[in-house]
Amino acid sequence: MNDEERVAVIEKQTGYVFKDKSLLLTAITHSSYAHERKINKTGCNERLEFLGDAVLELISSRYLFEKYKDLPEGRLTYLRASLVSEKPLAECAKRIGLGEVLRLGKGEEAGGGRTKASVTSDAYEALIGAIYLDGGFEEASRFVEREVMSCSGEHLKEKDPKTTLQELLQKRMEAHIEYELISETGPDHDKCYTVEVKVNGKACGRGEGRNKKNAEKAAAAEAVEYWKKEIAK
């Protein structure tokens, strides 16, 4: 498949026509391809992925803020993570055939890069970044809301964040998780509980709620985000 065909496929599948086709080509260029072709490091999709991640986070945050008007910050953070994580983005990439048009190096190609969730989800974020640069925030918003948010139902089925935290850690370490009540304020009819969660004695999340159970969930949601970042380092 040549580059002109790659562009045509993605424009047809996304419904967005690029004014600057080079942005789209950069979005589908994996670092392995750039390395093999001795293209400057900035010629692969990593910088666009960085930008697209930020654009996606803002659009999804606004979407959740408006959709779930009564949820506290910790719960919104958890929902956003479930919506824009690797798995759902890889599914979005698969729907538009993004893996099939990626420019990959021979090694990555042989290693099954076209179907790797890590590769296709990164490229999808790069695509969002490219649309943002080419058409502006409103075009990027229309694309994300149509392609990502409209398919969010399955991923917004909430799993208890306490369970998610346990599952995340048990795959990687011996983890002792404990929840500690930090404070209890307000009158009996309007209590506010603050809970801190510790993993192996280290505090990694804090949350508030009208009861201890909800406060623990909010703390766990924050801890999930903390450990995802730690694991990614």
**pLDDT tens column, 72-87:** 777 788 788 778 888 8
Contact criterion met (CB below 8 Å) for 222 and 230 = no
Instruction: Supply the mean pLDDT for the chain.
Output: 89
Q: Does the structure show a pLDDT above 90 at 151? A: no
Q: What are phi and psi of 198, to 5 degrees?
A: -125, 140
Provide the pLDDT confidence category of residue 56 given band limits of 50, 70 and 90.
very high
Q: Is 190 a catalytic residue?
A: no
Instruction: Select which of 49, 122, 125, 225 is catalytic.
Output: 125
Task: Give, in order, the Cα–Cα distances in Å from 12 to each of 3, 15, 129, 146, 183.
Answer: 14, 5, 18, 15, 55
Contacts of 109 (CB under 8 A, 6+ apart): none
Q: Is 125 a catalytic residue?
A: yes
Instruction: Select which of 3, 36, 46, 53 is catalytic.
Output: 53
For residues 53 and 152, the model is more confident at 53
CA nearest 182: which of 201, 195, 191?
Answer: 195
Q: Does the structure show a pLDDT above 80 at 152? A: no
DSSP per position, 11-78: HHHHS---SSHHHHHHHTB-HHHHHHTT--GGGSSHHHHHHHHHHHHHHHHHHHHHH-TT--HHHHHH
CA dihedral 136, 139, 142, 147 (to 10 degrees): -100
The DSSP letter of residue 136 is -
Contact criterion met (CB below 8 Å) for 181 and 195 = yes
Task: Quote the CA–CA distance of 91 and 14 in Å, as a whole number.
Answer: 14
For residues 204 and 151, the model is more confident at 204
Structural domains in the chain? 3-151 (1.10.1520.10), 161-232 (3.30.160.20)
Provide the pLDDT confidence category of residue 155 given band limits of 50, 70 and 90.
low
Identity of residue 143: F
Task: Quote the CA–CA distance of 126 and 123 in Å, as a whole number.
Answer: 5
Contacts of 165 (CB under 8 A, 6+ apart): 177, 197, 220, 223, 224, 227
Angle CA(179)–CA(190)–CA(195) in degrees, nearest 5?
Answer: 10
The DSSP letter of residue 113 is G
For residues 108 and 232, the model is more confident at 108
